[in-house]
Every structure is written in structure tokens, then in C-alpha cells.
């Protein structure tokens, strides 16, 4: 019986070999990164149990950022990790009011030259003083074509060198054309103010003037924040610190907030509204916004060149049903234009609401020479496929045969401006002039329907330059009426921005533009 004996002799050796393998695997060069992270976190993060103190420590869930460079931010995940650390010139409130942040007052005579008075006595997280030079450097970087910030696409009216320091605490913007609500544009996600001498790499050089300092950042895993004791607003922030945990997946975020592992979810997708019912310990927070989906129709192709066909399709949509059933009530019915009532200029709009009317739709189709209906392909992507499906089903009785193609998001955005019928979501913009400039002006890149209306463009130019509120409202009313009549795209709802917080959290609100503001937040 040589076999068992020889094996037995070897067993300890084999066991030792196996353990060595495991230990080698566990230790090797890897150790540094992982262990450093663990140790740093251990001393600095109190974890969610750190109650007892005045504000406590909050844990929130967010999508992982792709970059922490504020000027390069392009996703909500980026914003939700950056905003606690930085300040803007102007702060956008939850009702879209413009509040002083680093600028205390602003004015312009003609809408083309804007002067901003800056707050004094503000220091950056590295202790250096905040001055006008920092604003100049930040805006120059934002609009520098070599930097390729997503903001450059919006700030078409500002060039490098257009921002100048009048004195230490006054800055002047010389725009290339009048922009009546320029202060609202300065609330763009990317327009955070960083030190003039900032050297890049925000993850390792997180220097802002915001209510929190970034203490630790582990890409795709977590970040830890500490209250900034020198924050310029007295008594803020109320929390001692925060931790953000990154989730790739919304399903995992939902279970985490339901089980109490996180206190706040910065963004809740509309199709998950049902997962946080009342009384579940989680409150659903919602804020009306101007975010919407557009079903665009190429007006340079048959049969969509005929406004009657476009109106017919718009008449088939039961908007209230989509709002009630697909959005669970967390949306507002819209009237085929981009001027949501959340904009002050659009509050008093008085255009008759387009309601579902299949008979009239059929009649319009007949008049347009399509008694047998219209067939077309409707292309969309990811999560909004369900809305396209709903529209297709509502349109079928009137004679529209719409074939839906749902593509991956990045594939969609490679050819979206060439599609005959397309549907995509547009997030809230801080100025009501922004959506028309981006997607309805003659000939602009993202004018998906290829619609061109000279009167509308003329009004847009006036709106851009108008500073007076009453005048702006009048222009908006005319633009909305044209868009509603011409229907280059069907805009059936404005969706609310949704967040969620556990019942023990107070002082956190959903924000129409998805900003996160934890300055007044407390957790028990």
C-alpha cells in the first residue's frame, strides 16, 4: 500500500504550498493601494453609525463619476460627487431662483456686458484667498476649445479673454452677443470656480470653496467628505461629514436605501417610482422640471414635411395617461413646446392644451393624402423605449404604423440627427432659451427635425437679448405658440426630477436640474 503512505507524507507539503499560493495572491504588489485606502478611510470615515453629534454623518448613493474634474463633468454621477466640494458664481435654487453663491450681485445694462460683484473673505480649501482672477481662469478654461469642456458647447457667446477682473472682487464678462439671462447660464454644471493656479487632477487636488472637503476618493467605489469649517455661509454645512457609495446599478441602490445602508439616493429613475411606496421608511422626493422627451419628425422628408401629418401624430397621444401610468404622476402634461411652467417666463402661458383626438387625427391624415395611414420607423434608446412603445400603440388606431427600434444609448447618439423619427430625453436647462438654441434654431447640429422657422429664430434672438422679465414672457409666449402649431417634435410631458431619502434625513430636496445641496441636510 505505497500509495496512501506516500500521499500522506506529502499532504503537509501540499497544504503549505496551497497556503503560500493564497497568501502570495493576497499580498503581492496589490497591497499598497487597497490597504492605504482602507486605512485612510478607517481614520476619517465615521460610517453611518456616527450619530450623536449635531449633524451626523450621511451616506448617499450615486452613480460612479467618470471624472472629478468639475470643468469636464458630463454625467450626473460626476456632478453628484463634485458639487459638495465646489461653489458657482450663482446658485440655482430648488425653485430655479438665482441665489448668490460666490457672486453677491450681478447686473447688465445691455445684456452683453455683465458685471458680477464677488463675495469677500472666501478661502479655498488649501487656504488661499478667492479673488476675481480665479473666476477669470475658470471661465477661460471652460470655453477653451483645447480643453473640450462640455460647457463650451453652451457658452457660444463667450471666448477666452472675454472674462476680465475689474478689481479683486469684481469680474466683467464681455459677451459676443447679448444674453439677457446670462446669470442663469453661469449655473451650468461645469462652471465651478477653481483656483487660478489649480494644476489639474481634482481627485488628488480637490480644491474648491464648497461646504465640504474631499477627504478620500476610491474610483468606482466611494468618496468621503468632511465639513469645511471655513465655509463662507455661517452655520453650514450642518453635517459633520458624508460618504458617497457608488453603484453601477439602480437596482442595487434601491435595495441599499430600503435596507438603510444609504440614507439618500441622489437620482431615482422614473420607472422605479413604485419601489419606494409610502410608509416604507423611504420618502420619494420630486421636483417639477423642464426635462422632457422629444419625438422628433424630420420635416425635410415625406410625409413629415406636411404639418397636418405631424399634428395628426401629436393628436393620438393620451398625455395624461402617460403621466399617470408611466410616470406614476411624477410628470406634468406638456403641449409640444419646450417652455415648461417651471421657467418664470413661461408661468402664465395660455395655449389650448392638445388632447387625444383620434377622429381629428384620422381626418388630418386623409386631408394630407394618407387615407390608408402612414408607416414609419421610430428609433430610440435604452430606458425610454417604453414611452415610444406607448406612443406607437396610441397612434395605431388613427392609422400610424410605427415600428420601434431600441438601440444602445451610444449607438443612438452616433446617428440620432439623421433619423426620420427619433425619441430622446433632454435634461433640464437653466435658461428657457437654451433648448431652442440647441435644437430648434435653423441649421444647428442638434436640430433633429431639421425644422427651420425664421420668425421663431428672430424671436429667439430677441429673447437672448431681453433683460426685462415682462418682455421675455411675451417673447416666450409667441415662440411656444409657433412650436405648438408647427410641431417639429412631440413633447408630451415634462418629467419631475426624482430623488429618495430615508425618513431620518431632513433638509435634502430633489432639484429640477439634479443639483445636490447637502448644506442644510441633517441625519438622525
User: Minimum CB separation from other proteins for residue 174, in Å?
Assistant: 23
Near other proteins in 437-456, by CB under 8 A: 445-446
Among 9, 12, 26, 127, binds other proteins (CB under 8 A): 26
Per-residue binding letters, 72-91, with other proteins (x by CB under 8 A): --xx----------------
109 binds other proteins (CB under 8 A): no
Among 160, 174, 203, 386, binds other proteins (CB under 8 A): 203
Q: Please, are residues 328 and 368 in contact by the beta-carbon 8 Å criterion?
A: no
66 binds other proteins (CB under 8 A): yes
Spatial distance between the Cα atoms of 189 and 141, rounded to a whole number of angstroms = 14
Q: Please, are residues 417 and 446 in contact by the beta-carbon 8 Å criterion?
A: yes
- What is the CB neighbour count within 10 angstroms for residue 221? 12
Cell of 467: 433683460
- What is the CB neighbour count within 10 angstroms for residue 331? 23
Residue with cell 506529502: 10
Per-residue binding letters, 131-150, with other proteins (x by CB under 8 A): --------------xx-x-x
Per-residue binding letters, 207-236, with other proteins (x by CB under 8 A): ---------x--xxxx-x------------
383 binds other proteins (CB under 8 A): no
251 binds other proteins (CB under 8 A): yes
- What is the CB neighbour count within 10 angstroms for residue 302? 12
Among 10, 51, 353, 442, binds other proteins (CB under 8 A): 10
410 binds other proteins (CB under 8 A): yes
Among 258, 283, 356, 522, binds other proteins (CB under 8 A): 258
Spatial distance between the Cα atoms of 89 and 115, rounded to a whole number of angstroms = 12
N-term to C-term CA, the chain: 70
252 binds other proteins (CB under 8 A): yes
Give how many residues touch other proteins by CB under 8 A.
67
Closest CA to 275 of 248, 292, 253: 253
For other proteins, the closer of residues 144 and 357 by Cβ is 144
Extract the runs of DSSP E, i.e. beta strands, from 313-414: 331-333, 374-381, 400-407
Among 33, 107, 353, 524, binds other proteins (CB under 8 A): 33
Near other proteins in 343-372, by CB under 8 A: none
31 binds other proteins (CB under 8 A): yes
Spatial distance between the Cα atoms of 211 and 216, rounded to a whole number of angstroms = 16
Cell of 152: 463650451
191 binds other proteins (CB under 8 A): no
Closest CA to 487 of 295, 290, 347: 295
Candidates 18-26, 266-274, 285-293, 312-320 — which segment interacts with other proteins by CB under 8 A? 18-26
User: Minimum CB separation from other proteins for residue 398, in Å?
Assistant: 31
393 binds other proteins (CB under 8 A): no
User: Minimum CB separation from other proteins for residue 332, in Å?
Assistant: 23
- CB under 8 A, 24+ apart: contacts of 456-465: 456/482, 456/483, 460/433, 460/436, 463/180, 463/432, 463/433, 463/436, 464/111, 464/177, 464/178, 464/179, 464/180, 464/433, 464/437, 465/111, 465/112, 465/177, 465/178, 465/179, 465/180
Among 9, 32, 234, 454, binds other proteins (CB under 8 A): 32
Cβ burial, residue 107 (10 Å; 0-12/13-18/19+): exposed
247 binds other proteins (CB under 8 A): yes
159 binds other proteins (CB under 8 A): no
Asked, as a colleague might, if the bond just before 388 is cis with ω within 30 of 0, I would say: no
Alpha helices by DSSP H, 204-351 = 250-258, 307-315, 319-321
Per-residue binding letters, 296-335, with other proteins (x by CB under 8 A): ----------------------------------------
Binding site for other proteins (CB under 8 A): 1-4, 6-8, 10, 14, 21-22, 25-26, 28-34, 37-43, 45, 47, 66-67, 74-75, 145-146, 148, 150, 152-153, 203, 216, 219-222, 224, 245, 247-249, 251-252, 255-256, 258-261, 408-411, 413-414, 424, 445-446
Amino acid at each position: 500500500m505505497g500509495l496512501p503512505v506516500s500521499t500522506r507524507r506529502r499532504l503537509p507539503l501540499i497544504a503549505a504550498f496551497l497556503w503560500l499560493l493564497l497568501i502570495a495572491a493576497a499580498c503581492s504588489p496589490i497591497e499598497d493601494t487597497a490597504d492605504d485606502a482602507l486605512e485612510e478611510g478607517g481614520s476619517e470615515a465615521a460610517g453611518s453609525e456616527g450619530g450623536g453629534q449635531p449633524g451626523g454623518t450621511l451616506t448617499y448613493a450615486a452613480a460612479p463619476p467618470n471624472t472629478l474634474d468639475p470643468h469636464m463633468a458630463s454625467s450626473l454621477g460626476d456632478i453628484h460627487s463634485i458639487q459638495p466640494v465646489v461653489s458657482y458664481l450663482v446658485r440655482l435654487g430648488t425653485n430655479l431662483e438665482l441665489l448668490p453663491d460666490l457672486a453677491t450681485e450681478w447686473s447688465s445694462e445691455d445684456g452683453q456686458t455683465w458685471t458680477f460683484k464677488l463675495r469677500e473673505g472666501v478661502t479655498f480649501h488649501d487656504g488661499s484667498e478667492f479673488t476675481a482672477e480665479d473666476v477669470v481662469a475658470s471661465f477661460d478654461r471652460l470655453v477653451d476649445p483645447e480643453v473640450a469642456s462640455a460647457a463650451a458647447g453652451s457658452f457660444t457667446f463667450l471666448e477666452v479673454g472675454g472674462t476680465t477682473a475689474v478689481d479683486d472682487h469684481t469680474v466683467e464678462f464681455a459677451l459676443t452677443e447679448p444674453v439677457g439671462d446670462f446669470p442663469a447660464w453661469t449655473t451650468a454644471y461645469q462652471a465651478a470656480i477653481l483656483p487660478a493656479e489649480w494644476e489639474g487632477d481634482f481627485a488628488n487636488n480637490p480644491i474648491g470653496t464648497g461646504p465640504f472637503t474631499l477627504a478620500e476618493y476610491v474610483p468606482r467605489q466611494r468618496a468621503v467628505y468632511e465639513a469645511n469649517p471655513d465655509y463662507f455661509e455661517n452655520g453650514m454645512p450642518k453635517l459633520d461629514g458624508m460618504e458617497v457609495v457608488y453603484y453601477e446599478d439602480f437596482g442595487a441602490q434601491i435595495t441599499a436605501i430600503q435596507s438603510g445602508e444609504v440614507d439618500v439616493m441622489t437620482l431615482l429613475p422614473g420607472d422605479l417610482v413604485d419601489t419606494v411606496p409610502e410608509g416604507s421608511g423611504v420618502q420619494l422626493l420630486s421636483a417639477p422640471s423642464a426635462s422632457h422627451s422629444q419625438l422628433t419628425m424630420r420635416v425635410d422628408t415625406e410625409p413629415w414635411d406636411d404639418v397636418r401629418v405631424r399634428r395628426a401624430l401629436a393628436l393620438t397621444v393620451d398625455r395624461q395617461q402617460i403621466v399617470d401610468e408611466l410616470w406614476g404622476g411624477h410628470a406634468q402634461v406638456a403641449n409640444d413646446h419646450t417652455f415648461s411652467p417651471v421657467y418664470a417666463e413661461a408661468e402664465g402661458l395660455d395655449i389650448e392644451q392638445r388632447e387625444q383626438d383620434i377622429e381629428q387625427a384620422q381626418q388630418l391624415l386623409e386631408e394630407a393624402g394618407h387615407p390608408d395611414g402612414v408607416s414609419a420607423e421610430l428609433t430610440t434608446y435604452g430606458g425610454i423605449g417604453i414611452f415610444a412603445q406607448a406612443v406607437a400603440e396610441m397612434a395605431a388606431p388613427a392609422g400610424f404604423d410605427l415600428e420601434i427600434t431600441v438601440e444602445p444609448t451610444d449607438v443612438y447618439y452616433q446617428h440620432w440627427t439623421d433619423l426620420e423619427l427619433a425619441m430622446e430625453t433632454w435634461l433640464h436647462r437653466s435658461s428657457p432659451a437654451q433648448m431652442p438654441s440647441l435644437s430648434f434654431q435653423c441649421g444647428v447640429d442638434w436640430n433633429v427635425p431639421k425644422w427651420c422657422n425664421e420668425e421663431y429664430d428672430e424671436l429667439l434672438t430677441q429673447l437672448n437679448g431681453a433683460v426685462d422679465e415682462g418682455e421675455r414672457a411675451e417673447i416666450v409666449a409667441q415662440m411656444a405658440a409657433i412650436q405648438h402649431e408647427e410641431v417639429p417634435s412631440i413633447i408630451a410631458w415634462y418629467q419631475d426630477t426624482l430623488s429618495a431619502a430615508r425618513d431620518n434625513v431632513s433638509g435634502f430636496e430633489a432639484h429640477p436640474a439634479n443639483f445636490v445641496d447637502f448644506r442644510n441636510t441633517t441625519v438622525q
